Structure 1
Amino acid sequence: MPTVSCRYRGELRCEATHHGSGAVLITDAPIDNAGKGEEFSPTDLLATSVATCMLTIMGITAKSRNWSIEGSTADVEKQMTQSGPRKVEKLRVQLKLPQQLSNEQRSLLQRVAEQCPVKRSLDPSIHLELIWS
Structure 2
Amino acid sequence: MVSMTAIYLGGLRTEATHLRSGNKIITDAPPDNNGRGEAFSPTDLTCASLNSCMMTLMGILAERESIDLTGLTSEIVKVMASNPRKIAEIHITFTHASLNATDAQKEKLKRAALTCPVALSLSDSLVQKVEFNF
Bucket of the pairwise TM-score, normalised by the shorter protein: over 0.9
Computed over aligned residues only, the root mean square deviation of the Cα atoms, in angstroms, reads 1.0
Task: Give the gaps of 5 or more residues in structure 1.
Answer: none
TM-score by length of 1: 0.95
Counterpart amino acid of residue 43 in structure 1: T
Report the counterpart of residue 126 of structure 2 in structure 1.
126
Shift of 1:127: 0.7
Instruction: Indicate conservation of the 8 Å contact 2:69/2:99, yes or no.
Output: no
Instruction: Indicate conservation of the 8 Å contact 1:75/1:95, yes or no.
Output: yes
State how far apart, in whole Å, the 1-side matches of 2:32 and 2:46 are.
17
State how far apart, in whole Å, the 2-side matches of 1:92 and 1:52 are.
13
Counterpart amino acid of residue 64 in structure 2: S
TM-score by length of 2: 0.94
**Helix, strand or coil for the counterpart of 1:129?**
strand
Report the counterpart of residue 103 of structure 1 in structure 2.
103
Task: Give the gaps of 5 or more residues in structure 2.
Answer: none
Could you list the structure 1 runs, at least 4 aligned residues long, displaced by more than 6 angstroms after superposition.
none
Listed one character per residue, the Cα deviations across residues 25-79 of structure 1 (whole Å, up to 9, x for unaligned) are: 1000001100000000000000000111000000011112222101111211001
Counterpart amino acid of residue 86 in structure 2: K
